[in-house]
Structure 1
Amino acid sequence: MENQIAVLKSSRTSRYLRIAPILFFLYVVNFLDRVNLSYGIDAGMFKDIGAPASSASLIAGIASALFFVAYAIPQVFTTLQINNVGIRKIFAGAFTAWGIITILTGFVQNVPEMYALRFILGLAEAPFYSGVMFFMGIWFAKSERGLANGYFNAAIPVAGIFGGLIAGGIFTAYGNDPGWRYLFIFEGILALVSVVILWFTINDFPEDAKWLKDDQKKALESELAKEEADKPIKSSWKEALIERDVLLLVLVYFLGVTGLYGYTIWLPSIISSFAHVSAATSSFLSDIPYVVAAIALIFILRYSDKKGNRKRLTAAVFFVAAGGLALSAFLISNVVVSFIFFTISAIGIFSFLPVFWNIPQESLKRESSAASIGLINGIGNLGGVVGPILVGGLESYTHSFVSGVYAMAFFVLVAGIAVLIVRNSR
């Protein structure tokens, strides 16, 4: 037993170095393609393609939401296919599709075309996140998974940093229009380049990896089998889909994602509205919450792996997000103080993902985890429908983002309370 643990540890560094950087890079590209719309909205892209000024925010929210409607449709089925076919082929097809779609977005001329492309983009991106969560579960033991998930999910704030710099630079050089068009074209090309990179760097399963020794493969397989036997949730994936904890995790993820995408899609526009600055300036200022969140995430992940209390830590980061958002809206009369609290809320908004995903990975059996994770990710991501429409709709109705910020605070507060009710996790 001690020898097996030693062998497992001997492969840990090589597994981290071989897997984490490429998944991190792919997620940066994925998140750039997902939220580049936020910078385009602030640059006036919907007015440029014919949306009335009075309802442009609501129309933009609907465009963002259509992505997540489509994203939810194939979740369970694509994740099961990853278990059968492997991640490399499915991801190569997905990245190719969404790269082409993102490039085409740079050429849209009207709102219906934008709606259609956002919907198709959601279908194309559907396999990625839940596929990676399943992939992590077969490459890393429970004790290693928190750090691996953390490195992967740190791509969100890092993508935000790069996204703000890229958008700000393009808008400064080319103006808002055609700047927002060049933004989509550039990031679509980046997705196509990623196909080549992932094809030559990813192994579908540990048994396929030539860089792992046979005893290292056996040690990992043995450790995962032991964890599998200790998991309390039923083995049938059909039963898992109606398991109480799975449904609770769907709710928690839905509420968290509502806050996440309400925040990310409207971040540049909220900054422009509160501070009265240009689209280029707000793009650069958008980097500040992402930088703070990225730094905080390092310490949160270390604490998570050290203490292992995923449930309480997930609740805590939700409460930080709720407090920061509520205080930001309440103190809107002082722009600097409001922005400080808005930035603090980013710590919770962007930190919940890596901590949260340890809960289903550690409590669901492998044969049920593929479908259950697909369900959590697919249905939970419908929060991406609610968040952008809610914030955009409230802005169109009240001509202010304050009520939308309060709404996001409420959703993440309830998420923090709900996660504490999950039973089969510490």
Structure 2
Amino acid sequence: MVALFMSGVAVAGVVGGPLSGWIMKTFAGLYGLSGWQWLFLLEGLPSVLIGIWTLFYLDDGIRSAKWLSEDDKQRLERAIVADGQHQQRLPLAQVFGSGTVWLLALVYFLFVMGLYGVSFWLPQLIKNSGVKDVFDIGLLTAIPYSVAALAMVLAARHSDRSGERRWHAAAAAVAGALGLVVATVYSDNTVVAMVALSVATAGILSTFPIFWSLPTALLGGAAAAAGIALINSVGNLAGFASPYLVGAIKDATGSTANGIYLLAASLVAGAVLVVVRRSPGT
């Protein structure tokens, strides 16, 4: 279910890539604004409005879900209680001092580093392969995201059936790293680069729904809320570090290649840490 939920990221890439290319090409120069400025306006405003709408529409829990019958609510509540029997319910102070939580935060940071290799640099990598038209680049970005949407669900379903998490997350991360490396090495070949970028996108995005089963299997109650918040906060710092480092390397070397290799190495490092450190319930 987490994979189905998070596949929205991939579906957004399928729709958003061509849409972004069309906006940048069609609206460039209109009313004195650049294409990227129109992109921010036309894609940013709906997000703000939907965020406000969600605040009032989204149910706050099982009890407040009007679309669930009373039997459904009771059955779900019993399932949550049973599922939480093997979870640790640590005091908040212990959560912030837990080595396992900080390890998961580091792993998530490394995975998010790799994620930005796709979400931030995918159009540039496609452009490097010889595609110059901004609309064509937008269309081609839909291909890796389409593959990723399917891969996320299939990988998570296989993980559920086997009951295994760590190796599934690690394998997805390594596949993502290999895809980034091959796409960079064969950056002058559009076909090879697109296949490699599809593997990279599928692998990287498949990592995340499987990864989030690790802290939720380990922590319960307030510990889960605090632990997930800590992991997410530390991990999302990669949203600054990843583009900054790749940009700095590009400025220093004149190429994004070494920066992409760094992101691939981050994915492999995260995979190694997931496999080496075993936690209860994972």
Q: Could you tell me the TM-score, scaled by structure 2's length?
A: 0.91
Counterpart residue number, 1:154: 7
- 1:215-254 paired onto structure 2 within 5 Å: 215-231=71-87, 233-254=88-109
Q: Which amino acid aligns with 1:228?
A: G
Give the length in aligned residue pairs.
278
The separation in 2 between residues aligned to 1:277 and 1:328, in whole angstroms, is: 17
Q: 1:351 deviation in Å? A: 1.0
Tell me which of 189, 204, 208 is aligned to 1:353: 208
Contact 1:297 / 1:347 at 8 angstroms: preserved in 2?
A: yes
Q: Say if 2:218 and 2:279, in contact at 8 Å, map to a contact too.
A: no
2:37 is the counterpart of 1:184: no
Q: How does 1:128-143 map to 2 (within 5 A)?
A: none
1:151 Cα deviation after fit = 1.4
Per-residue deviation, residues 341-389 of structure 1 (Å, max 9, x unmatched) = 1221111111111111111112111120111000000011111122111
Moved >6 Å (runs of 4+): none
Superposition map of 1:107-146 within 5 A: none
Match of 2:19 in 1: 166
Looking at structure 1, the residues matched to 188 and 128 of structure 2 have their Cα atoms a distance apart, in angstroms, of 12
Residue of structure 1 aligned with 2:126, choices 271, 295, 298? 271
Which residue of 198, 209, 216 corresponds with 2:54?
A: 198
Counterpart for residue 258 of structure 2: 403
State whether structure 2 residue 190 is matched by structure 1 residue 338: no
Name the SS for the 2:179 alignment partner.
helix
Q: Quick check: 1:281 aligned with 2:142?
A: no
Q: Shift in Å at residue 251 of structure 1?
A: 0.9
**Identical aligned residues as a percent:** 32
Between the aligned partners of 1:327 and 1:400, the Cα distance in structure 2 is 16
User: Partners in 1 of 2:129 and 2:67 — Cα distance?
Assistant: 52
C-alpha RMSD of the superposition = 1.9
Q: Please give the alpha-carbon distance, in whole angstroms, between the structure 2 residues aligned to 1:223 and 1:338.
A: 45
In structure 1, distance between residues paired with 2:48 and 2:241: 30
Question: Which residue number corresponds to residue 128 of structure 1?
Answer: none
Distance 2:97 2:196 in 1: 39
Secondary structure of 2:34's match? Answer: helix
Partners of 1:188 and 1:258 in 2: how far apart? 23
Partner of 1:66: none
CA contact (8 A) 1:256 1:349 kept: yes
Residues 315 and 425 from structure 1, CA distance in 2 versus in 1: closer, same or farther, beyond 3 angstroms? farther
What is the distance in 2 between the residues matched to 1:208 and 1:276?
A: 50
Aligned partners of 1:211 and 1:325: how far apart in 2? 43
Superposition deviation, residue 238 in structure 1: 1.7
Distance change >3 Å, CA 304–CA 201, structure 1 → 2: farther
Question: 3-state SS of the aligned residue for 2:66?
Answer: coil
Post-superposition offset of 1:398: 1.4
Alignment partner of 1:175: what SS?
Answer: coil
Q: Can you give the 5+ residue segments of structure 1 that lack an aligned partner in the other structure?
A: 1-146
CA contact (8 A) 2:18 2:135 kept: no
Aligned to 2:179: 324
Q: Give the equivalent residue in structure 2 for 1:37.
A: none
CA contact (8 A) 1:267 1:286 kept: yes
Letter in 2 for 1:220: L
Residue deviations 1:117-164 (CA, integer Å, cap 9, x gap): xxxxxxxxxxxxxxxxxxxxxxxxxxxxxx2x1111101111111211
What is the alpha-carbon distance in structure 1 between the residues aligned to residue 58 and residue 140 of structure 2? 35
**Match among 222, 235, 238 for residue 380 of structure 1:** 235
Q: 1:167 to 1:210 in 2, by over 3 A?
A: closer
How far the C-alpha of 1:200 sits from its partner, in A, is: 4.8
Residues 280 and 327 (structure 1 numbering): CA distance in 2 closer, same or farther, change over 3 Å? Answer: same
Q: Aligned equivalents of 1:360 and 1:326: distance in 2?
A: 29
Aligned 1:255-266 pairs, distance under 5 A: 255-266=110-121
Tell me the residue number matched to 1:210. Answer: 66
**CA deviation after TM superposition for structure 1 residue 196, in Å:** 5.5
Distance of 1:320 and 1:248 partners within structure 2 = 22
Q: How does 1:275-314 map to 2 (within 5 A)?
A: 275-314=130-169
Distance, in Å, in 1 between the alignment partners of 2:65 and 2:27 is 46
How far 1:234 sits from its partner (Å)?
A: 4.4
In structure 2, C-alpha distance between the alignment counterparts of 1:184 and 1:332, rounded to whole Å:
28
Q: Distance in 2 between matches of 1:405 and 1:290?
A: 18
CA distance in 2, matches of 1:310, 1:407: 25
Give distance in 2, aligned partners of 1:276 and 1:218: 55
